[in-house]
């Protein structure tokens, strides 16, 4: 009963802070609400017994990513009016074609993995590790390898897009 109350309380705070992140007008306040949201998600991980994920949540997200957001907010001039012209070098058809190609590739990967019959594995060789960290690592590089690689490719594309958008002249 106590765990259910704690879970629903944490979930209500997470939902409230998430609404505050997207609804507040001040960007610095939005980032601070995001920090609180990440910390409450870490508390939810602790409640669920995933201590490793809670520590990673605090170190990576509440520490590194939010500091990066604050640097971007402070370095970008948010009072400047948006640019009124379109870039003549923009290749929208190429971008649309590449987006369709990536979606088709993800569909083919999904169809291929759904039709594959899993190979029989010995009961003791399925997950030889006993700790929480070892289980996360084992599952990440065996059962969830393709989603892990897709996420890394999406992060790479986002990084390249941010570099292109930040650069004024190509």
Query: Where along the chain do its domains lie?
Result: 2-75, 92-166
Q: Average pLDDT over the chain, rounded to whole?
A: 80
Write down the pTM of the prediction. 0.54
CATH architecture assigned to 2-75 = Up-down Bundle (1.20)
Q: CA 156 to CA 2: how far, in whole Å?
A: 42
**Where are the extended beta strands (E) located within 62-102?**
none
pLDDT tens for residues 23-78?
988 888 888 898 899 999 999 999 988 888 888 888 888 777 777 777 777 766 56
- pLDDT on residue 86: 67
More confident residue, 72 or 153: 153
């Amino acid at each position: 009963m106590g765990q259910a109350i704690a879970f629903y309380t944490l979930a209500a705070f997470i939902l409230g802070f998430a609404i505050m992140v997207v609804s507040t007008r001040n960007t610095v306040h939005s980032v601070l609400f995001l920090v609180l949201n990440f910390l409450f998600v870490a508390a939810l991980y602790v409640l669920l017994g995933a201590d490793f994920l809670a520590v990673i949540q605090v170190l990576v997200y509440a520490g590194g990513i939010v500091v990066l957001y604050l640097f971007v907010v402070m370095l970008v001039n948010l009072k400047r009016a948006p640019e009124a012209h379109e870039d003549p070098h923009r290749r929208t058809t190429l971008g649309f074609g590449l987006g369709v190609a990536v979606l088709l590739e993800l569909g083919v990967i999904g169809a291929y993995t759904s039709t594959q019959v899993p190979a029989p594995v010995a009961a003791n060789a399925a997950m030889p590790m006993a700790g929480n960290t070892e289980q996360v690592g084992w599952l990440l590089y065996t059962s969830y390898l393709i989603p892990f690689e897709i996420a890394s490719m999406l992060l790479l594309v986002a990084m390249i897009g941010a570099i292109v958008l930040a650069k004024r002249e190509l």
